[in-house]
A = this chain, B = another copy of it.
Amino acid sequence: MTQQFADRMYSVKRSFIREILKVVDDPSIISFAGGLPNPKSFPVEEVTAATIKVMKESGESAMQYSTTEGYLPLREYIARRYAKYGIKADAGEILITTGSQQGLDLIGKIFLNKGDTVAVERPTYLAAIQSFGMYEPRFVDVPLMGDGVDVEALRQVLESGPKLFYSVPSFQNPTGITYSHEKRKQAADAFKDCDAVFIEDNPYGDIRFMGEDLPPMRRYMGSGVITMGTFSKTISPGMRLGWLYAPSEIMDKLITAKQAADLHTSYFVQRVVYQYLADNDVEGHIKKIQSMYKVQRDAMVHAIERYFPAGVEYTKPEGGMFLWVILPEGLSSTKLFDMAIQDKVAFVPGEAFFIDGSGRNTLRLNYSSSDEARIEAGIRRLAKAINTLLEESKNDIIDIRW
């Protein structure tokens, strides 16, 4: 017998990153490839204590089925937390999801017909491409500049009538770039009189370790925006706990889609995480993560400054977990990967983050999952590989001239 799969399955590839992660499972490899938070930041003891408390006080309830929307006190907590940005969120506008990734799937599901247009940043988070890709849209991209999206290009793209614009305005994955206050205002302005929905993915917003904290796009836009959030970077990704913050007319459809997708997110996890949040100094905990990542980010930036050859450009993120490197035109980061892995250092070739296979001279480096010593050693090895690649490319040119 022959299985006939849906058309969508022939256009979607598995995540290149997750395939790479399998290659670099070897602990002797210094990996800048993953997107893993530093496990030292996980509040293991506090979450254990929260579990014991929940199970003692309401174990049977925590193990039972619950509502699709999610645990109300948890949604109220999330809603309240937006107040620091001057945003009045209502718990009814918050839907608990099984990680942020599920948020992407639900958004794709409620908005996208086959052939609809989705605009993304250039480069963009590739799991978004993967999730939205399941609904067979057409992708277009809008270039990123150092201070956020190219607004003129965004305006042009919006004129072509996309359903969604997907963006990571703070400490973007993969580039580490953050929209400035001015860019946020301009981007919001571009969405006036426009039916496209701004999808604001904000997994790293809390992990700002320098510069001025900026409000989410919701603050600039009012409506027409869905904000995605997660506890993956502040508590634990293994919990798979995220949320969508959306206007009520959109929320209604999201709940219907969520119900069909998995009924509800683990209620046990929701109860445990809420108990953790209620009983601990969460803001203090987040500050610790910020300090930890700042040390790691500084170690990487300093090692790059010290070891990378001239002509290699890179971003200096003010938060988040990633840094972006642009090699001189003509060099291939895939080739660099093959060389670097011989010397036991890994990263993600940037090509994976472009919808058209361009960006061949770019790469993404993660600093949150390696300590200072390994970052220093890894960047040194990577620099060596870049130098070798540069030498080879010069020889190529000589060969051609010859």
Contacts and interface: CB of A to CB of B under 8 A. Distances in A.
Contacts of A135: 6
Contacts of A2: 195
Contact of A266 (B7, B48, B61, B98): B98
Interface stretch (A64-72, A302-310, A335-343, A371-379): A64-72
A251 B339 CA distance: 33
A63 B42 contact: yes
Nearest to A112: B6
Interface residues of A, number: 90
A255 B5 CA distance: 13
A260 B134 contact: yes
Number of identical monomers bound together in the oligomeric complex? 2
Given A48-B59, A110-B6, A260-B127, A238 B268 contact: yes
Given A65-B238, A135-B6, A269-B268, A39 B14 contact: no
Nearest to A105: B261
Contact of A240 (B34, B36, B257, B263): B263
Nearest to A44: B59
B110 A9 contact: yes
Interface in A113-130: 113-114, 116, 127, 130
Interface string A1-19: 1111111110011110010
Contacts of A116: 6
A195 B48 contact: no
B14 A259 contact: yes
Contacts of A114: 114
Interface string A232-244: 1001111111000
Contacts of A130: 259-260
A259 to B, nearest CB: 6
A393 interface: no
Contact of A14 (B34, B109, B235, B256): B256
Nearest to A265: B240
A36 B65 CA distance: 7
Contacts of A111: 3-6
B223 A1 contact: yes
Given A34-B65, A104-B260, 11 more contacts: A1-B194, A1-B195, A3-B250, A36-B64, A39-B61, A42-B60, A48-B52, A63-B237, A99-B262, A114-B114, A239-B266
Nearest to A240: B266
A105 B266 contact: no
A101 B134 contact: no
A264 interface: yes
A224 interface: yes
A272 to B, nearest CB: 8
Nearest to A128: B260
Interface string A133-176: 11100000000000000000000000000010000000000000
